[in-house]
Amino acid sequence: MSISSDAPTGPSSPKSSRKELPDVGNPAADKIFSGISLAAGILILVVLAAVAIFLVAQALPVFTADSEDLSQGSFLKYIYPLVIGTLIASAIALLLATPVGIGVALYISHYAPKKISQAVGYVIDLLAAIPSVIFGAWGASVLAPKIVPFYDWLATYFGFIPIFEGPASQTGKTILTAGIVLGIMILPIITAMCREIFVQTPLLQQEAALGLGATRWEMIRMTVFPFARTGIVSSVMLALGRALGETMAVTLVLASGPLTASLIKSGNQTFASEIALNFPEAYGIRMSELIAAGLVLFVITLVVNVIARMITSRYKEFSGAN
């Protein structure tokens, strides 16, 4: 029996049995990309520092001015209602948008048929692309008048609760209306981010839970939510940052008025609406006062982002430990 000449007759050497891998590394390109990334990071820090320096420099006259030169006698009296109004509107938006956003994301990722999930996903993405001024115009011209009867009902039957104390605003332009509009605006952020995290849950874990007899909801509780916990927190904090700084929508929906505990009365201004309404005609110490308000909003937003980073890091460590 003859042996073909091209058949191996013994153990081949590493050079003959191994194909040479192409040289995929490019040190020059790596250095260029690393330099561009470093420059982008430094640029962000420089811009952030420049904004902070500008705000501090322009706000300094407020802290050294006489009390009679300020609009409310002291900067603390002026800024306190704005802090409360901003936090109330943002809290309402989060309370409304978070459960709805997570629920819609779960429906898209684990319940809806593929065609329906794609259609709903497109609608959510389209909602995120609508300018904020459109939301504000819709809230002021459509939502606010339509919701007045509901506010009257709340004042009649739940007026003993301070947040629903009447008489209700007959224009519908209240902090609750602003919170509802903000909740609709931040809904796509929470939904889109949660959807992307939910679909990345390891399939083997989900199949294992179902194989052990878990229902779909039990499987989601045991596998999807623990895996997506960090992403959910990140999406909520990102939405909170959007709600804190929103300007046009809140400006169009809110009516001017003093700080009040009732959510269905006119009043409770936010930082963004206060600055947008008064900045065009401001000058001198009044302009410095508005810039100082912007500085406070800048600090609040920075603190929120730092807290969000701490929470997500803690959850990552917890997940890694488990």
The one-letter code for the residue type at 318 is F
Q: Is there a cis peptide before residue 167, judged by omega within 30 degrees of 0?
A: yes
Domain ranges of the chain: 60-319
CA 122/CA 320 separation, integer angstroms: 34
Predicted pLDDT of residue 281: 81
Task: Provide the pLDDT for residue 95.
Answer: 94
pTM of the predicted protein model: 0.80
* 43 contacts: CB under 8 Å, gap ≥ 6: none
Tell me what pLDDT residue 42 has: 94
> Could you report the per-residue pLDDT of 235-271, keeping only the tens digit for each?
888 888 888 888 788 888 887 777 788 888 887 788 8
What is the rounded distance in angstroms from the CA atom of residue 74 to the CA atom of residue 64?
11
- What is the model's pLDDT at position 23? 52
State residue 268's pLDDT score. Answer: 78
Q: Using CA atoms, how far apart are residues 3 and 261, in angstroms rounded to an integer?
A: 96
Residue 167's pLDDT is 86
Could you name the CATH architecture of 60-319? Orthogonal Bundle (1.10)
Per-residue pLDDT of the chain (322 residues; tens, 9 = 90+): 444 444 444 444 444 444 554 555 577 888 888 889 999 999 999 998 999 999 999 888 888 777 776 767 788 888 888 888 888 989 999 999 999 999 999 998 888 888 888 888 888 888 888 888 899 899 989 999 999 999 999 988 988 888 888 788 888 888 899 999 999 999 998 998 898 889 888 888 888 888 888 888 888 888 888 888 888 888 888 888 888 888 788 888 887 777 788 888 887 788 888 888 888 787 888 888 888 888 998 898 888 888 877 777 765 554 554 5
Q: b/e map of 104-140 (b: 16 or more CB within 10 Å)?
A: bbbebbbebeeeebeebbeebeebeeeebeebbebbb
